[in-house]
């Protein structure tokens, strides 16, 4: 029994730690510092994600941050899937760990972003119809209300609902681990947006593209 438990725990640790370290890479901080010399944490909301990077006035940096933050969630999931084929739970663990790494990066004293881009990248890698539906929800809400945080909250809440839809009709059924992943990451997004929720209720939440000193 111990001969089986040892490798299993080692594999689990590899997926979790590897995913976490990949997710901890603070691309928003790195890109902004290299391009402008500024620390993105000192402007706007202090967040390290693409929405706050946009407040520097550099759309190119914001777009690059968006892609890289989404990419690290997707990469963690896909790498684990390739290394451990036939074990979807390990891919979900690696992807979930990358998401947690973005929220609590070891390189920044565990003070990271809110995980929205990483969330979408992760969903696209795990079940692309689920990711597309969540992304479309974000776009619709953002277009209507011009609030990134509100769009993220609605999309996150909708993702677990989408995950139980018969996506097999699109050629890719959603597995149990993906459903759990959607639920856990959505809950963490809501927790990380607690301040935004308060501002939304007060009508004081900044609009997309607005500069904030």
The overall longest dimension of the chain from CA atoms, in Å, is 59
In a domain, 209, yes or no: no
Note whether 23 and 72 are within 8 A (CB). Answer: yes
Match 């290394």 to its residue by tokens. 83
Interval 144-169: pLDDT, tens = 999 989 999 999 999 999 988 876 66
> Helices 88-103 and 59-83 meet at what angle, rounded to 10?
150
Q: How far is it, in rounded angstroms, from Cα 61 to Cα 31?
A: 7
Tell me the C-alpha distance between 194 and 39, whole Å.
24
Rounded to two decimals, what is the model's pTM?
A: 0.91
Q: Has residue 153 been placed in a domain? A: yes
Q: Using one digit for the tens of pLDDT, what is the confidence trace for 174-207? A: 678 999 999 999 999 999 999 999 999 999 998 8
Q: How far apart are CA 97 and CA 29, in angstroms?
A: 20
The answer to whether residue 81 sits within a structural domain is yes
Cα dihedral 38→41→47→48 (10° resolution): 50
Task: State the Cα–Cα distance between residues 31 and 19, nearest whole angstrom.
Answer: 21
Residue 42 reports pLDDT greater than 70: yes
pLDDT at site 3:
38
Q: Note whether residue 73 is domain-resident.
A: yes
Percent of the chain at pLDDT exceeding 70: 91
More confident residue, 212 or 161: 161
Note the pLDDT tens digit of each residue in 82-141: 999 989 999 999 999 999 999 999 999 999 999 999 999 999 999 999 999 999 999 999
Q: Is residue 33 part of a domain?
A: yes
Range of the domain at 49: 2-202
Position 211 in a domain = no
Q: pLDDT by residue (tens digit) across 12-31?
A: 999 999 999 999 999 999 99
39: left (phi over 0), alpha (psi -120 to 50) or beta: beta
Q: State what percent of residues in the chain have pLDDT above 90.
A: 76
pLDDT > 90? residue 172: no
In this predicted structure, what is the pLDDT of residue 104? 97
| pLDDT tens column, 53-75 | 988 889 999 999 999 999 999 99
The reported pLDDT for the residue numbered 209 is: 58
Q: Is there a domain that residue 37 lies in?
A: yes
Give how many domains the chain has, as a whole number.
1
What is the tens place of the pLDDT at every residue in 84-94?
A: 998 999 999 99
Instruction: Report pLDDT for 6.
Output: 45
For residue 91, give the nearest of 168, 175, 156 by alpha carbon. 175
With respect to residue 207, please indicate whether it lies within any of the assigned structural domains: no
């Amino acid at each position: 029994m111990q001969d089986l438990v040892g490798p299993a725990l080692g594999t689990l640790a590899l997926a979790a730690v590897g995913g976490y370290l990949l997710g901890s890479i603070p691309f928003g901080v790195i890109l902004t510092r290299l391009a402008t010399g500024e620390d993105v944490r000192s402007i706007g909301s202090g967040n390290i994600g693409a929405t706050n990077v946009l407040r520097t006035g550099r759309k190119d940096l914001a777009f690059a941050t968006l892609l890289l933050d989404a990419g690290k969630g997707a990469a963690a999931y896909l790498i684990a899937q390739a290394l451990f084929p036939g074990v979807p739970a390990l891919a979900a663990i690696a992807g979930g760990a990358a998401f947690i790494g973005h929220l609590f990066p070891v390189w920044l004293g565990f003070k990271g972003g809110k995980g929205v881009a990483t969330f979408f990248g992760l969903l696209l890698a795990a079940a692309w119809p689920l990711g597309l539906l969540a992304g479309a929800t974000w776009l619709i809400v953002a277009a209507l209300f011009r609030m990134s945080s509100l769009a993220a909250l609605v999309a996150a809440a909708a993702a677990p609902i989408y995950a139980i839809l018969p996506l097999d009709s699109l050629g890719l059924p959603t597995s149990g681990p993906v459903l759990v992943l959607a639920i856990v990451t959505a809950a963490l997004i809501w927790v990380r947006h607690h301040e935004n929720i308060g501002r939304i209720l007060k009508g004081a939440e900044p609009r997309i593209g607005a500069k904030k000193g």
